[in-house]
Amino acid sequence: MIQKRLQINVDSDGNIKAETLGIHGSKCLEYVSVLEDLLDAHSVESKFTADYTKNESEIVNDQGVSNES
């Protein structure tokens, strides 16, 4: 199973940029409120990145192929 991670960058102005790693599809939307609660912050901007369109089975297949090669 792929490790799910959150990468959080806080700059010296107090602005926060967070990314979900290894969390695919619509599951990543659940982490919006998780991050807001964790950071006591409100979201002002967001966008999906490449991994959003992948689902778990595709990732597992990719990993299976790379393990065999």
Q: Interface residues with other proteins (CB under 8 A)?
A: 1, 3-25, 28-52, 54
What DSSP element (H or E) covers 61?
helix 56-68
| Local structure of 56: helix, strand or coil | helix
* Maximum CA extent, the chain: 46
The residue (of 14 and 68) whose beta carbon lies closer to other proteins is 14
| Structure letter (DSSP) for residue 53 | G
State the nearest-atom distance from the C-beta of 56 to other proteins, in Å: 12
The residue (of 22 and 64) whose beta carbon lies closer to other proteins is 22
The residue (of 47 and 66) whose beta carbon lies closer to other proteins is 47
